[in-house]
Amino acid sequence: METSAASAILMDADSGRVLYEHNADRKMLIASTTKILTALVAIEEGDLHDSVKVSREAAYTEGSAMYLTEGETLTLETLLYGVLLCSGNDAAVAVAQHVGGSVKGFVALMNEKARELGMEHSSFANPNGLDDEQHYSTARDMAKLARAALENETLMRIASTRSVTIGGRTMTNHNKLLHYVDGCLGLKTGYTKAAGRTLVSCAEKNGQRLIAVTLQDGNDWADHQALYEYGFSAYPARTCAVRGQALTQASVSGGVSSTVPLIAGAGFCYPAAETERLTTRICLDEPLRAPVSAGKTVGAAVFCLNGTEIGRVPLVAGRTVMPKVSSALAGLKL
């Protein structure tokens, strides 16, 4: 698997497993893919229904725009459509000033969130991605950010919108993958002359979600399609456990029944190639002895890929097992 990107990564969203990478830890300019973090922080810290008055600074921000005018008032939600669909640098500044009190205050929130997400090789200097020596990230860090974005329903609702008319404006999403890739869930494009073309996207197939990031890639639309074709075919999600279904039977001593079904307390899937070996190990907290109560956690199922642990789920007793009544007691009449 190869791409035209200077830096790239393909990651399984749910497990975090990296399926492909190339220079994934190289610090790079990321252009407007920055706005994923801008939107995430704004949604978490702000109120979508807030009214935001556009400042002069926001209205006259350079670069791509949703064409705000000084003094107009829009909701924070409308501005976020401007941030994620038409990549408005003006909208990003307006959002930052409202949510953070100032651009500087908002950038502090962005860097705090990046640290929280484990984006160890990233630094943010503005909310829109304009070139700055103190503004950079890596493909791996941007994939971590995309994983967090996927868990935010509001952000993904906006990012997956192809076009919208809101607040008197009609905006069209710059992300062509929404048309090119079946199951594309959205995310963000970017470009500056210094950064080149940058793209963060995610797609879903058969319940599996993948994240692709390419930095400095002149052929990004085709590369993301190729990455998804590769990922979904070479590393399909394999189901190890289904919540509520029995994984195995365990022995019970001293009970009216000698066994009890062990039920998975959570589901677990993992992307794995056909040649890779997925195994399950049952670990009980202690040998089961009656009485055993239905629903009680009694251990864990440990899942391994080629012998290395990749996850575990709790195991609960599937039914109650009462202790045997001794024959001496059974013969007594009260």
CA dist 294 and 301 (Å) reads 17
* Sign, Cα dihedral of 294, 299, 305, 307: negative
CA–CA gap between residue 52 and residue 76 (Å, rounded)? 6
**Helix, strand, or coil (residue 293):** coil
Assign 150 to helix, strand or coil: helix
Cα–Cα dist 176/160, whole Å: 11
Report which DSSP code applies to 265.
S
Q: Are 162 and 47 in contact (CB under 8 A)?
A: no
Residues 155 and 37: their CA atoms lie apart, in Å, by 10
Q: In sequence order, which residues have a C-beta less than 8 Å from that of residue 46 and are 6 or more positions away?
A: 76, 95, 98, 99
> Which residues does the annotation mark as catalytic?
32, 35, 87
Alpha helix positions (H), 151-240: 153-159, 177-180, 220-234
Q: How far apart are CA 10 and CA 224, in angstroms?
A: 9
Helix (H) or strand (E) holding 160: none
Question: 100, 109 in Cβ contact below 8 A?
Answer: yes
Whether the Cβ atoms of residue 35 and residue 158 lie closer than 8 Å to each other: no
Element (H, E) at 89: helix 89-100
Query: Do residues 289 and 322 make contact, with C-beta atoms less than 8 angstroms apart?
Result: no
Pair type for strands 51-53 and 73-75: antiparallel
The DSSP code for 320 is: -
